[in-house]
Each structure stands twice: as C-alpha cells, then as structure tokens.
Chains A and B, each alone.
Chain A
Amino acid sequence: MTTTLKPETADQVREAVQWAGGNETPLEVVGSGSKRAFGRPTDLAYTLELRALTGISLYEPEELVLSAAAGTPLAEIERALAGANQQLDFEPPDFRRLLGIDDGGGRGGTLGGAIACNFSGPRRIKAGAARDHFLGFKAISGRGEDFKSGGRVVKNVTGYDLSKLMAGSWGTLGVMTEVTVKVLPAAEKTRTVLVMGADLTAAVEAMTVALRSPYDVSGAAHLPAGLTGTSEVSYVREAGGAVTAVRIEGPGPSVEYRCEVLRRELGRFGQTEELHGMNSSLFWAEVRDLIPFAGAGDRRIVWRISIPPQSAPAVVDRLAGRAGADTLLDWGGGLVWLAVEAADDAAFDEVRAVVAETGGHATLIRAAEEIRAAVPVFQPQADAVAALSRRIKAGLDPLGVLNPGRMYAGV
C-alpha cells in the first residue's frame, strides 16, 4: 500500500522531506501524476504529491513574468495567460493520452511538473525549451532545507544557474514549491504550410529550406502516410499520403507574406496547402501531444530521439524497418518519435547504438513497467558525466530520499 502525502504549504513539504530523511524513507515526488507512467518506476511506499500546493502568486503581463505554487495546474496557468493574450512559449506537451493516463480530458499536468521534466513542444526550435523560460524557484532540498535560486527577471547571472539544473531533474534534486517563469505574448496569427506527399528525405530537405530561411518558422514536422488518419484536421486526415508541415506565427500581414513566400519555395517538394487559425492550432497540438501514437489500442513502445536534424533520414532508415515501426518527425527532423512493437526487445540496443553515432540521445517514453525497470529509460551517460551526476545528487540529496532511481539507478 502506498501512502500519499498531499502537502498544502511549503512548510508541510519541508516537514515531509525532513521526516523522510530522518527515517531514511524515500519519497516518490509527483505533481499530479500526469507523467507517472514515464521514467524508471520507483515502487516506493510513500508518495509526495504536490497538487494541493496551488495558486498563482504573481502575474505581471507587461513584465512577462508569472510565479505560482509548483502544483498549480497548467490548465489554470494557461487560462490566466490567455486572459492577457499570453502563453507559455515552450508549448508544454500533455502526454496523458499517449501514456494511457486518463483523468478526464482537458489540460493535464502541473507547472512544476512541466518544468521538472523539461519537455517542450514543436516551438522548441524557435522559442527554446521549458528550461529557457524558467527564471527562478523556491525548493526544499533532500536535506530538508529551503533553498532558492534565480529570481523574477530574465537577465540574471547572480550565482550558478540552478534553475537549469532543476529543470529536467525529475524531482531528484529538490522539491520545488514555487516556480517563476517567463511568459510571452501569444502570436496574433498562426498559419501552417502543408507540403503533400514528400518522402522522408525530401521532407527533411523541405523543412531545412524553411528553417534556413529568414521566415522565422516556429514548427516543422513530418507525418508519413500511415500517421495522418487520426488527425481531426480534415486536410491532414484526407491527405492520402505523407504531410510535411511548417508553422508561421506573428503579426497578421507578416504571417501572410511569409506563408506566401514559403509556399512558393516549398512547391518543388509537392503540392502545398495552408492551414489557418483553429486548424493550425489543432494540428500542432496533435503533434505536441503525439496523438498519432496515442490510439486507444496502441501499446507499442515509444522512443523520443533527439539528434542533429540532418541525421534523421539515416536514423529513420535504419530503425523504420522493424516490425510495426512508425516514425514521426518534429523539430525539422531533430526530434524523431519512433514506435516499435511491444515485443520487440531487440530494438533497445539497436536504437541506442544508432542514436549514439549521431551524438544524440534516445529516451524510452512509453513502455510497460517491467521494461522500464529493466532497460535504461534515459540514454546511458559517459562514465565521467554519470559520475558527476551522482556527485551532484549526493550533494543536494545525500540520503537519496527524493525520487531515487527515477532517472538513473543510483541517482
């Protein structure tokens, strides 16, 4: 039986961590649990869940800054931002459908969780990752002590940038209680140029042309023929072949102009179409949340592979031959989503080896618990880096009470 502690204040979080340290009882740290089915399983008797630690404490649209308790639902954050025509520019994805966690639709996850996992959506190529929008935090370390770093301003080099370290640390270094993020104006207009029927190599080339242009592309994805059928956007669903998509956002006249030029330049890769407004937003939300791999019966293993964009054709070529394999490209080819049969356990070594050659990394996003316990979920690190990670963990959480083993065994 797992006991779940739901602190409502930072003081209670501190108490819980101190108790855990005093009794050498590790805690599973979660926001609302929207990404629980990802990462190495922890199997601990106590869970520290932060969803009761909520509330926006500061939001100044003209200063582009927002602070909130770490457990504040992303839904609440995004509602507040939309009221001032702003947004989290890194497009935090919602993987609940992909991971088969259904807690009632809408927008899942907490702000603290989005940052602790450092997942970013298609706009990553232009706007940066979650970590690039993360300005400061208050947290309780594994030692049960309060610490903070950063602040509420963007320009800040006072001391080490611990915000970067906390982003993507999966709750293994500290329990964040309050986070401050940079927010940005939402684009006035969004449109998407679709190129129909390009094969993978041509698609990467087309996306490269767009990304090398001065037209400030904010999304570049490729869905091969088999993956377009689930889209709610009819242009995509009824494409009857592969779809390569390039997103343009900004002030109205500028978007119209850039779309027109890009359509002309991309015409040589296939017939082009254009998605406007809602259709464009819907399509990118599907890419962001990986809806093509989130079908009800889909139990395939899903990998998230970050590589130099130009390596995509070769990497896909070597991996796509596996039984039941599908690939979807985002970030102009720099992010390859790969699905393979659940029983294909020979894929692990091969995926890791192929990806390692490019210098990139592969993360196991969806897999049965036994697999995630047996296979490294994150790309294994070079010895020197792994040793350094262990020393960092030992410094901030010497008793190993915060999410031990969530990322790597022994960290």
Chain B
Amino acid sequence: MALAAKKPAAGTIAAGKPAAQKALARRSEKAGAKTIAEFSKAEELAAYREMLAIRRFEEKAGQMYGMGLIGGFCHLYIGQEAVVVGMQLALQPGDQVITGYRDHGHMLACGMDPKGVMAELTGRRGGYSKGKGGSMHMFSVEKGFFGGHGIVGAQVSLGTGLAFADAYRQNGNVCLTYFGDGAANQGQVYESFNMAELWKLPVVYIIENNKYAMGTAVSRASAQTDFSRRGASFNIPGEQVDGMDVRAVKAAGERAVEFARSGKGPYILEMLTYRYRGHSMSDPAKYRSKEEVQKMRTEHDPIEQVRNRLLEKGWATEDDLKAIDAEIRETMNAAADFASSDPEPDVSELYTDILR
C-alpha cells in the first residue's frame, strides 16, 4: 500500500517497525511517573478559561435539560475537560477531530460557537445541524470537527478514514479519534488499528478511560484494562496519561501528534479520566459510591488543579478568577438565551439535506 506522503508526512516510512517498537516501550512510563512540563502563566490561564468554559456550558446544558428545553439523550463531559483542552493544544490548523456522543467539550475545544452548539441541543434553526442532529450529532467542517456520532465505536473507523484521506492527500494533517473505554471493546476498533498501522495512517487514538461505560466498570467488561496496550499486537505504541492534568495531556498529545504527523503511523493515548455526572441525564449512577466521585472531585479536579497553581504562583488573584468565571457565565447565559429564543427549524427543512 503506497500512501506515501511528501514532507515527512504519513506513509514514507514503509518499514516503521524499529520506530514503532521503540515508542512501544514508552508505555511502561506510567502516568505521573514522568516529569510534567510546566505551563507558562499564559498557558495556565488559557487552559483554565477553556476548561471552565466547557464546565459552565455543560452545567447550563444540564439545567436546560431539566427544564425540558433539551430532549432525548444528553451526555455531559464534566470532569473530563483537561483531555480535549490539552489535546487541542497539540494540533495545527487543518487537523481533524472526531468523537462519539459525549461531544460538547470537543466542539467547544475545536472553537465552535457555544451559541450554535446550545441551539443544536435545543433543536433550533441556529444550531450547527440546523436543529436536525441534536446533542449527539453535530459537525463543523470549518473547525475540523467531524462529529458527534451516536453508535458506540463507529467513529473509530471513521477517524481512521479521515486519516487515510490525510495520507492520501499528503497534506501533513493528523486526525484525533476519541472514544471511550467501553467503545474500545468494539470489533471495528481492532480492524481499524490493523489498517492504520499497516498503512501508517496519521491518526492518534485517544481512549477516554473514565472508568465506566454506562453502568459497567472497566474491569467488568475488559480482559485487558490497560488500554494503552490495546494496539500492542499491531505494533501501535501507546501511553497512559493522567487525563486530569492538562499539562500531562498536552505533553503526551504533542508526542503522539508529532509521531503520527511524521509518518510513523498511529499512536494510542489512554487518558485516565473521570465523569462526574451520570452516563446521561437519566442515569442515577448507583454503580459507584458517592465517596469515589467526591474523591475525584476534591483531589483530581482538572480545573481546580490549574486554579490552585495560578493562585499559588501569584499568577492570578481570587478576584481575577472570579472575573473570568463571571465572563464565562455570561457567555453561556447568552448561549442559553439564544438557544431558547431561536425559532425551531422551518417545517420545510424536514425534507432537505437527505441527498445532495
């Protein structure tokens, strides 16, 4: 298969074995073991803002769901914010992102407008899919965001295909393909892994291990619970990353993206993370203890970590951070107002967009 790329991009290294094997060894460096690259003041502040924006958006969405303004399923990303925010820092313009249904955070991180995202959640014409897709199905080609997919695992093959297109076009781009610990057990994941390594596709697989797939703890569904090793039989290197620490995510993201972009093939990042809320709005989450959730919240919260560093280093005062929060709340309130007042799609839209 000659998907050769110019630049040092995907495909040129036909015999990528040694490189891959070397990188495979990296997986033994467990999360937290390596020294974390510190963030500058500007980076800390930017990460704080981005993560807080996602959290406030999600809280607002949860509230709007409670008021009946959002229907169907609504999967909140609260707790996992550091993953998308850190990964996004490793990307270049033209790179692509694809994920499942827990997608609001990914969209905001890609730079999509909270108004358009929230209006899609309420099913209004100003939504990213004109109100026709809803929470789980949203896209922005302009921002490189390819969805938003409701079928667990399907995005893994699709993301591999996006990377195939990058290699085919030799454009030097990389596709970030996100999926969950539960999705990691779908068969098409491994069919994709095989092709991606065989053809050295520029794809980074990010497994967001938030410990549960709906009500099933990882150990009850997975024979191999170290997801960073899930590519081992295909010679795909992998790493476990502290997904609650945005600095660790960014550092690992840069390594993985650089690997994929330089034509060495796919890379797996297992993000150790946690979702605070239930699987969706109607999940009471009785399968885990309150203490477990509380412990994550108080000891590992991705936003609190940045906040504490900012305060400790004197890079921001309580008042500075309060002002940022107020500003973000205002943005999200405006998004919510727009999403509640924007009209529903015109009825003629029922029959549009079926074929081109």
| Chains A and B are bound partners | no
Interface residues of B (CB under 8 A from A): none
